[in-house]
Every structure is written in structure tokens, then in C-alpha cells.
Structure 1
Amino acid sequence: MFKRTLALAAGIALSVSAVCSHAADVLRVSAIPDEAPTELLRKFKPLGEYLEQQLGMKVQFVPVADYAAVVESLASDRLDMAWLGGFTFVQTRLKTGNAVPLVQREQDAQFTSKFISADPDVKSVKDLKGKTFAFGSVSSTSGSLMPRYFMLQDGIKPEEFFSRVAYSGAHDATAAWVQAGKADGGVLNASVWEKLVASGKVDTNKVKVIATTPTYYDYNWTVRGTLDPALQAKIKAAFLALDPAVPEQKAILDLQAASRFIETKPENYEGIEQAARAAGLLK
């Protein structure tokens, strides 16, 4: 019986070791679903291949259903790293106590949102009074939280000011809603707006920018706090090493809408937390 007990214990130890070894060999990565799933995968593929080369391990993209799923998956160690908006990072940090923001794009230190409309009579946000309005996801920093915060600062309470407030779920969907007349106005992040315009997916003869928010900190790549510190350092170094002068790496940066990546820190997102509390989105 003693031998059987030892054998069982050894078997369990080996199983746990195998699971841990397998987990350590795969970096599980995701992103908040602020764009269509196919677009997120397209943007990540070359970055994932680059990280595999730099880290010497498999990098797996794990799609998630919604913003909350990213937070929960990082908190429960089902994900190792994720592309988060400022508000999602704050939620993750509050939930885990130790999530680590590694890097952000250079422009994420001064990010903005664009208010748009296809109504020729609408020249400003105030002209949308009594009309329909679309945010992105409830948990989106640039598609909901910060635009709402800045509107409240201007004395505009969305649910009272607009005849109807709806949530499209993603930035590109908001632009499509406004262009199709499903909403009289909407707001989305500046980076996605610029990409949609450049790719011809939005008709600027119909849809126009009517206002731009003040700047704020937004997106970053965050890792779970329990991830090996040595691996965290290697991931950060890989992002910081991306060089726009190298064609293959410039292609990666272009897909991420980044000129380059820079280091970031939790303190950068204190303003986001304060805005979320002021807007009643955090208790």
C-alpha cells in the first residue's frame, strides 16, 4: 500500500509538472474585442510570429467573447497577456491586484476619441440633442468611458440628452451604424477612425467628425502578475525592440497602428480610474 501511495503521489507530481511545463511552453494571448474577430486575428498574426521568434516559445491567440471575459481570464490565469484598453486595465488591476502593464504605443499616452455624424445639420455634439447616439462597448475606454466622462464635464448626461443611447459593441460597428443611419451620432477611438478612412470603409462624404475629446492614456499590453518575471522582461524587450526602420517589423507596427512601443506603468491609468468613478462605472 505504501508503494502504491508513493506511485500515486509520483504520478500526480509528474502530471502537475507536465501541465506546468506545457503552460510555460505556450504564451496565451488575447485582446479586448473592440473590432471584428477577423480583424483582430489579422492584426495579431505577424506579431505572434515575431514574439515566437524572440521568446523561443509558442504564442497562441485566444479569442474572447467580450471585454469582461478578458478581465476574468487574466484574473484566473487562463491568459498570460492581453491587449487592454485603459479602463479594462483598471478593472483587471483592481480585480487581480498585480496585473502588470508592460508597454503601450507611443500615441496611447495622448489618445483621443472622435464624435461622428452623417446628419448634415449636425455640426457639434450639442446639435445631437434629442437624437440617437451610439457608444461602442460599455467597457470601452475610447468608445464609452472617456467620451461619457468628457460629456458629463460639459453638462451632457447622455441618457437624458439623447433620445436613445445604444451600444454597438465595437468601434468599426459604431462607424457602420452612423453611416447606415442606425444612429444620428456616435463615438469611436481616433485610431480606428483613421484606419477606416484610410481603407475606404467609411465614406467621409457622408460621415464627418464633429468633435474630438481631450487626450488621455489608453491601450497597453498587460501580463498577469503571476507570470514569470524573466518572461515578462523578455516580452517587454521584444516589443521595445520593434524597429520601424526594419521593413518586416514596420509591417507589424503598422498593423498595430503604432509608430513604436514604449514602456508604461500603472500610475499612467490613475486618471482613467478617476474618470470611471466619476462616471459611476466603478464603485
Structure 2
Amino acid sequence: MKIPRRSLFALPLTLLLTGLPPTLAQAAEVFRVSAIPDESPTELQRKFKPLGEHLERKLGMKVEFIPVTDYAASVEALVNKKVDMVWFGGFTFVQARIRSNDGVEPLVQRVEDEQFKSVFITPVGSGIEKLEDLKGKSVAFGSPSSTSGHLMPRSYLLEAKVDPDRDLRVSFSGAHDATALAVAGGRVAAGALNISVWEKMVAEKRVDTSKVRVFYTTPPYYDYNWTVRKDMDPALRAKLLDAFVSLDPARPGDKQILDLQRATRFIPTKASNYASIETAARSAGLLK
């Protein structure tokens, strides 16, 4: 029996989709992704575009990048199901896990995130040679919720008997690249940022190492990961995991994606890897 043409427009979209091949039905869905704003919005979009296209091919559905204004907004977006996956630092993952009552889990991390580091930088000729020399000085961090731009640098300052709240004049730039530029511009005496952004800015000649130098590099710690909610459909989760771990630097297209993510490979990860981050956050008074 023929359905009158005008009746088709009255049918629910979900009913119409049931008659489509699976790949077309899936394409009508949208997989929403966000990231902590640890770099400028344009840089985050540039880095994500090829990865987003790769995920679309692997998942068989549209992938959309949703920018957020600050670190806290990225946590709330995932917890409140506004997005499906977020690029978190170790500390923001811990915050999301607590905020969601253990309702989120890290899916993958870069190989580099097993041994991540932060650097402290200062202008050449500042006379600052060690963490203790920062007492009384102006120091820039990234976001208050940044693992590599605040939490871990703060943790190592406290180990060196330097209390940021008492001994330093602290400011927050909002992002790693902004911290480096604040130091380079002479607006602060020193700054802390993640080593990956520092190395990228040096390579791109956005900072001049004849004018700004690293004076302290932290010991390694676990950091970034892609986090999803635990209620994600298991089949979708399996596809997503495969989309990341199957990226192969020997294939030119994959290498472009990995290079933009500053990764050699993606590997599976687990929540227990970030237990030391939670411990450091509680010791630093950043988690109650």
C-alpha cells in the first residue's frame, strides 16, 4: 500500500530512519567532542579537524567539536551529557570523576602522557635559577584547574618549601601558550606550562630561547586523556577505542593526525593511572 506523500512528513524521524541502511541511520546522529581550553580556540579547532574527520569515518556518524569557555565548563559539559567525549588533563579528569560520582572513565591517552612534565620558564638574565629563587616574584600559571599548568607545578613548589599563596605573586593566564607569552613579554618574572606546548612554541619560533629559558623541569607524571561517560553504548565505545589505537604513524594520513595531537601513538588507559594526581590535588588544597 502506498503512503500518501504528504503523510511522510508527519512520520517521526526515528521511524523514517529505521528503513535506512545502518550507516545512513548512524550518520543522522552526532557525536559531540570538547576539550579543556589549554590553548587558543583557533589552535584547538585546527588540531581537532583531521582527528574529527577520522572519527567520522570510523564511527559512521557526524562528529562535532564543541568549544568551551573554561576548564570547569568542560567538566560540566561531560557530566551533564552535553558532549560525549572530552580531552581532559589529569586533574580535570579527577574533577569530572568526582563530580559525576564515578560516572566517567578515561578511554585513551598518548604514549607521552605516561611520562608528562611541566617546565618553569623565566627571561634570560632574570637571576632565577631554582624554584626557591621565585620567592617574592610574580609567577603565571595557566588555568587553576590545569594539571600541567598549575597543579603539578604547585605540588613541586610546595616540595621546595615555596608556598605559592604566601611566597609568590600569582596570576592565571588561562592557557599554556598565554603563560609563555606573558613571560616573554616581561609581564611576569616566571611561568609554568606543559612541556609539550613549550616545545611546540619553540619549534614554531613563537618564543625566542635567547630571551626566555627553562630553569626547572618537573619529574614525570600521568596527564592528559580522552574521557567518556561510563553509560556510553559498549559497541560505540569499542569503535571509538579502535579509532584511536589503530592510528599508525607509518600511514601518512594517520601521522598528520598524530603530529597535530603531539602523539606518537594512542594507548588504552585507566582511572587508577590518575590516583597520584588526585593525591597531589588534595595535598595542594585544590580538592576538598
CA distance in 2, matches of 1:15, 1:248: 35
- Residue-by-residue CA offset, 1:15-63 (whole Å, 9 max, x unaligned): 8989xx8898111001000000000000000000011111111000000
TM-score (norm 2): 0.90
CA 1:25 to 1:15, structure 2 compared with 1: closer, same or farther past 3 Å?
Answer: closer
Please tell me whether residue 229 in structure 1 is matched to residue 234 in structure 2. yes
Structure-2 separation of matches of 1:133 and 1:235: 40
Q: Distance in 1 between matches of 2:108 and 2:26?
A: 26
Residue identity matched to 2:64: Q
Per the alignment, residue 204 of structure 1 pairs with 209
DSSP-derived class of the 1:27 partner: strand
Q: Secondary structure of 1:259's partner? A: coil
1:60 alignment counterpart = 64
Moved over 4 A (4+): 13-18, 21-24
Contact 2:245–2:266 under 8 Å retained in 1: yes
**Partner letter of residue 73 of structure 2?**
A
Give the corresponding residue for 1:104.
109
Is contact 1:119-1:184 (8 Å) kept? no
- The alpha-carbon distance between structure 1 residues 179 and 17, as it changes in their structure 2 partners (threshold 3 A), is farther
* Identical positions, percent: 59
Structure 2: unaligned runs, 5 residues or longer: 1-9, 17-24
**TM-score, normalised to structure 1's length?**
0.91
Counterpart residue type for residue 129 of structure 2: K
Partner in structure 2 of residue 126 of structure 1: 132
Structure-to-structure mapping, 1:115-154, within 5 angstroms: 115-120=120-125, 121-154=127-160
Query: CA–CA distance in 1 between the matches of 2:204 and 2:129?
Result: 25
Alignment partners' CA distance in 1, 2:279 and 2:124: 33
Match 1:176 to one of 162, 181, 184: 181
Name the SS for the 1:252 alignment partner: helix
Letter in 2 for 1:244: P
Asked if structure 1 preserves the Cα contact closer than 8 Å seen for 2:108 and 2:241, the reply is: yes
Q: Is the 8 Å Cα contact of residues 141 and 193 (structure 2) preserved in structure 1?
A: yes
**RMSD of aligned residue pairs (Cα, Å):** 1.9
Residues 211-249 of structure 1: per-residue CA shift (max 9 Å, x gap): 001111000001122221110111011100000000110
Return the alpha-carbon distance in structure 1 between the equivalents of residues 174 and 26 of structure 2: 34
How many Å separate the matches in 2 of 1:155 and 1:98?
36
Aligned length: 270
1:274 aligns with 2:285: no
Cα distance, 1:154 vs structure 2: 1.8
Structure 1 unaligned runs (5+)?
A: 1-10
Q: CA offsets per residue over residues 112-154 of structure 1, 9 Å max, x none? A: 0000000412222222221110010000000000110111122
Matched, 1:113 2:81: no
Distance 1:118 1:17, change over 3 A: farther
Q: Partner of 2:38: helix, strand, or coil?
A: coil
